Chain A
Amino acid sequence: MVNLIIDGVNVQAEEGSTILEVAKFYGINIPTLCHHDELTPYGACRLCTVEVDDGRRTRLVASCLYPVREGIKVKTHSESVMKGRKLILELLIARCPNSKTLQDLASQMGLEQVRFKMENEDCILCGLCVRMCAEQMGSGAIGFVGRGQKREVVTPFHMASEICRNCGACMYVCPVVDLQCRGVKSPGELCNSCLVITPQCLGKYDQVMCTLESCGACVEKERKIV
């Protein structure tokens, strides 16, 4: 076992586990977008970045990849961490403004404004689908193509893949595509509605959680404003 301090609390953790796993175990919530417990950590979204003081220096590390070490001091929500996380989220929302996952995270973190020109992408390039397809479904039908701004997830040569079994696992893990905000809002506006208003479907369908469609809370909000 390894002894470390997370957010001022002395904790013990198994050797080889990552900061993210330990934090989760002790009930500390670190936001992630490209992480899945059953897939290889990737470290692409950088939202899980935390501050680590290893006795020699303090630095920012991705908690999903950083293995715990004896005596390190971790701050999961320090000021610099939160500032960076918010800006990263702002960058992501500017890319995919219609993602409910991102809009919800924005509400949680208190992000109030997007200062960049809005785009209308669907994919945040977290790579969950690529890893899911290769690691869990044993298929490897999709992958990253291109560099930098031209990066995208596609099948080889953009052609229908022969090894894709249409299992839908990629859709299942995708944090953004399935959950689209369908609410009416002007570009750049952060909606915050879902967290503020009780979802409309609750009550009507006791056992059902809506995931695929917008819950309508935002539409409701819009109506009230009008």
Chain B
Amino acid sequence: MRMKKIRTPQELNSLRNSLLKQIDPNKPCVRVCLGTGCRARGSADIMTSFKDEIERQGLEIQVSCKQTGCHGFCERGPVIVIGPKEIFYQKVKLTDVPEIVSKTLLNGEAVDRLLYTDPTGQKALYEHEVPFYKKQTRLVLANNGRIDPTNILDYIAIGGYQALAKATATMSCEEIIDTIEKSGLRGRGGGGFPTGRKWRSCREARGDVKFVIGNGDEGDPGAFSDRSLMEANPHSILEGMVIGAYAIGANQGYLYVRAEYPLALKHLQTAIDQAREYGFLGNNIFNSGFDFDIKINQGGGAFVCGESSALMASIEGMMGEPRAKYIHTVERGLWNKPTNLNNVKTWANVPLIISNGVNWFAKIGTEKSKGTGIFSLVGKVNNTGLVEIQMGTPLKTIIYDIGGGITKGKRFKAVQTGGPSGGCIPEELLDLTVDFEKLTEAGSMMGSGGMIVLDEDTCMVDVARYFLDFLQNESCGKCVPCREGTKRMLEIVTKITRGQAGEKELELLQDLARTVKGFSLCGLGQTAPNTVLSTLRYFRDEYNAHIKDKKCPAGICRDLITYTILEDKCTGCGACLKLCPQQAIDAYGLIHTIDPAKCVRCGICRDACPFQAIAVK
């Protein structure tokens, strides 16, 4: 237990210098990714195995081993990086450990088969050579793969809490807010509201007690950027929050994190305890007379609690329901006190801006959207994972250069951004540069940074149905347009996917979409029709095919498709025959046939056929 708290920037510097002296830059160090993705692939065992192997060979003094957070390239997990050369290994197995220790750690040689090989056969030795990382600009996620998230000293050694020291020792509250405002930082939760302006409103709001909140309630299907940041670099979020609270004049902060993120909760709590121990939280931080502490609030898993006013209601112990924000939360938020809520990614940007200055940050990104955007790249793309790019990067670069293109060489159809509130962007807009305005113009939004790539085998009506189903389940039910409207929209879209809807229903669907968008109480309802509206805008022909021709062009909607066996391709091998759960396949002759009356369109036969002899129409 450390007794003496750090009270001055000098003390922080001397601690950092002593830490840097202790670390031998040439000492080999294995960094094992223990983010959720790699953990699921067994990286925790690999970590233990490394420790055991090092101990067995008696190498504790020569080499070291530590856990880090998510490196982002989850597709290729478990990922490890070996310093000082920064050799990047992917898809590491337990059995590879002894070889890595003897070859790479002791002799500095690379194990060829563990290196990343791109589709052309080119091998990459280092992380920055891997195409997935090449076009990324990792600022917020930069240290994810470098530091041990459970060790504050690691964070201090890379320059952590220097921004807080700088802010409290040399800057006035006004100066801090000015800096954030001029940097052009905008809310990373999806709305994109200028952070500096929000802080200023909260600072100027009348009230003796003020609060700051970090929103880590990430609930979009397919999004995991907040999660990864909270797990991998919790101190960066805390540091941002302390700086923000200092500038705004808040003495209590809350971190709202969903209970489904146990690792994030654990790491954040550890980080908070450590920050308290070192005096970065608590009373009289850096001798500035400023007191601040942070409490974690666990969310119960309601998607709507990511909405600021519902989140605040939830912290208050009430039902997670939004309220109208005609009086902003910066004036009347948590317990009716001025409250500044930012996404955890926004908070993590703050120390970077304070340390590196306004000009540094303002140079990154586009005119109106500064800095970087973090996207969870998932779906039918070769390199799934967490991507941080400069604002203004074209979608094409993200999907093809970073993402490595579409899986199985299929054709790209659309990309769904912004989670359930966002929309689908079609192929003709692939050159679109990603920033807040451009995405909104295209009928989608930045949202929490989900990016789901869809290929030609995706039915866009079915995609709309999926997101509507999610939203009508997650609507809190308070206001009529959202509760009843999304339910009815789902009814209509489901009818369309079954071929039971006509032009009238489509018209009603559009009317409903407009009303739900315009009349709903909170952001959830106001954005709920986006997927329907954007798919209607770009994929009208698919809706028409379902409605008029009663066909599903992508072959997804079960009621509108038939499975047939192509005579010229079928060899009569019987692979499909054995697997069909309905015994719908007849094999009287050599060529098999499918009885449409028995077929339930499960697709098992198609997956089983080695000759692609089963067609869907």
Give A contacts to B, CB under 8 Å.
Answer: 43-47, 49, 60-62, 65-67, 80, 83-84, 87-88, 91-92, 94-95, 115-117, 124-125, 127, 143-144, 146-151
Query: Given contacts A43-B324, A62-B324, A84-B518, is CB(A91)–CB(B472) below 8 Å?
Result: no
Note all chain B residues with C-beta closer than 8 A to A46.
479-481, 519-521
Note all chain B residues with C-beta closer than 8 A to A127.
478
Q: How far is the CA of A95 from the CA of B326 in the complex (A)?
A: 29
Q: How far is the CA of A146 from the CA of B477 in the complex (A)?
A: 8
Note all chain A residues with C-beta closer than 8 A to B515.
83-84, 87-88
Query: Given contacts A62-B324, A66-B326, is CB(A149)–CB(B488) below 8 Å?
Result: no
8 contacts between A and B (CB under 8 A): A43-B479, A46-B520, A60-B518, A62-B324, A67-B326, A88-B484, A91-B485, A91-B488
Q: Given A88-B481, A151-B477, 5 other A-B contacts at CB below 8 A? A: A49-B519, A83-B515, A84-B518, A88-B519, A149-B477
Q: Which residues 304-359 in B have Cβ within 8 Å of A in the complex?
A: 304, 319, 321, 323-324, 326-327
The 8 closest A-B pairs by CB, nearest first: A151-B477, A91-B484, A65-B324, A148-B475, A87-B515, A148-B477, A84-B515, A46-B519
Q: Taking the complex as formed, is B209 at the interface, i.e. its CB lies under 8 A from any CB of chain A?
A: no
Contact B483 A151 (CB under 8 A): yes
Q: Which of B302, B323, B487, B518 contacts A43 (CB 8 A)?
A: B323
Contact B326 A61 (CB under 8 A): yes
Per-residue CB contact flags for chain B residues 464-506 toward chain A (1 = under 8 Å, else 0) read 0000000011111111110111011001000000000000100
Q: Name which residue of chain A comes closest to B512, CB basis.
A: A87
Note all chain B residues with C-beta closer than 8 A to A60.
518-519
A47 shortest CB reach to chain B, Å: 8
A88 shortest CB reach to chain B, Å: 5
Tell which of A80, A87, A92 has the most Cβ of chain B within 10 Å: A87
Q: Which of A47, A91, A148 contacts B473 (CB 8 A)?
A: A148
Q: How many residue pairs at the A-B interface have CB separations less than 8 Å?
A: 97
B326 shortest CB reach to chain A, Å: 5
Contact A116 B519 (CB under 8 A): no
Q: Which of A65, A83, A94, A115 contacts B326 (CB 8 A)?
A: A65
Give B contacts to A, CB under 8 Å.
Answer: 302, 304, 319, 321, 323-324, 326-327, 472-481, 483-485, 487-488, 491, 504, 508, 511-512, 514-515, 518-521
Q: Name which residue of chain A comes closest to B478, CB basis.
A: A44
Q: Which of B474, B480, B504 contacts A148 (CB 8 A)?
A: B474
Q: Name which residue of chain A comes closest to B320, CB basis.
A: A147
Note all chain B residues with C-beta closer than 8 A to A92.
480, 484
Contact A67 B520 (CB under 8 A): no
Note all chain B residues with C-beta closer than 8 A to A94.
484, 488
Q: How far is the CA of A147 from the CA of B323 in the complex (A)?
A: 15
Note all chain B residues with C-beta closer than 8 A to A66.
324, 326
Note all chain B residues with C-beta closer than 8 A to A117.
491
Q: How far is the CA of A200 from the CA of B477 in the complex (A)?
A: 38
Contact B508 A88 (CB under 8 A): no
A110 shortest CB reach to chain B, Å: 16
Note all chain B residues with C-beta closer than 8 A to A125.
477-478, 483
Q: How far is the CA of A149 from the CA of B479 in the complex (A)?
A: 11
Q: How far is the CA of A67 from the CA of B326 in the complex (A)?
A: 8
Query: Given contacts A43-B521, A84-B518, A91-B488, is CB(A149)–CB(B511) below 8 Å?
Result: no
Q: Name which residue of chain A comes closest to B325, CB basis.
A: A65
Note all chain A residues with C-beta closer than 8 A to B302.
147
Q: Name which residue of chain B comes closest to A145, CB basis.
A: B319
A175 shortest CB reach to chain B, Å: 13
Contact B480 A91 (CB under 8 A): yes
Q: How far is the CA of A148 from the CA of B485 in the complex (A)?
A: 11
Contact A84 B519 (CB under 8 A): yes
Contact A149 B483 (CB under 8 A): yes
Q: How far is the CA of A80 from the CA of B319 in the complex (A)?
A: 32
A1 shortest CB reach to chain B, Å: 19
Contact A88 B480 (CB under 8 A): yes
Q: How far is the CA of A46 from the CA of B530 in the complex (A)?
A: 20
B98 shortest CB reach to chain A, Å: 52
Query: Given contacts A65-B326, A66-B326, is CB(A45)–CB(B477) below 8 Å?
Result: no
Note all chain B residues with C-beta closer than 8 A to A84.
481, 514-515, 518-519
Q: How far is the CA of A95 from the CA of B472 in the complex (A)?
A: 15
Q: How far is the CA of A35 from the CA of B475 in the complex (A)?
A: 21
Note all chain B residues with C-beta closer than 8 A to A45.
479-480
Note all chain B residues with C-beta closer than 8 A to A87.
485, 511-512, 515
B303 shortest CB reach to chain A, Å: 9
Tell which of A83, A91, A116 has the most Cβ of chain B within 10 Å: A91
Q: Name which residue of chain B comes closest to A152, CB basis.
A: B477
Q: How far is the CA of A23 from the CA of B491 in the complex (A)?
A: 37
Note all chain A residues with C-beta closer than 8 A to B475.
147-148
Note all chain A residues with C-beta closer than 8 A to B326.
61, 65-67
Q: How far is the CA of A149 from the CA of B475 in the complex (A)?
A: 8
B339 shortest CB reach to chain A, Å: 18
Note all chain B residues with C-beta closer than 8 A to A143.
319
Note all chain A residues with C-beta closer than 8 A to B491.
116-117
Q: Which of B476, B485, B487, B488 contacts A147 (CB 8 A)?
A: B476
Q: How far is the CA of A94 from the CA of B480 in the complex (A)?
A: 12
B68 shortest CB reach to chain A, Å: 37
Note all chain A residues with C-beta closer than 8 A to B514.
84
Q: How far is the CA of A87 from the CA of B477 in the complex (A)?
A: 17
Q: Name which residue of chain B comes closest to A61, CB basis.
A: B326
Note all chain A residues with C-beta closer than 8 A to B487.
149
Contact B480 A44 (CB under 8 A): yes
B341 shortest CB reach to chain A, Å: 20
Q: How far is the CA of A91 from the CA of B486 in the complex (A)?
A: 11
Query: Given contacts A46-B479, A80-B518, A116-B491, is CB(A148)–CB(B512) below 8 Å?
Result: no
Q: Name which residue of chain A comes closest to B321, CB basis.
A: A144
Q: How far is the CA of A47 from the CA of B519 in the complex (A)?
A: 9
Contact B508 A115 (CB under 8 A): yes
Note all chain A residues with C-beta closer than 8 A to B481.
46, 84, 88, 91
Q: Name which residue of chain B comes closest to A89, CB basis.
A: B480
Note all chain B residues with C-beta closer than 8 A to A44.
478-480, 521
Contact B519 A147 (CB under 8 A): no
B331 shortest CB reach to chain A, Å: 11
A180 shortest CB reach to chain B, Å: 20
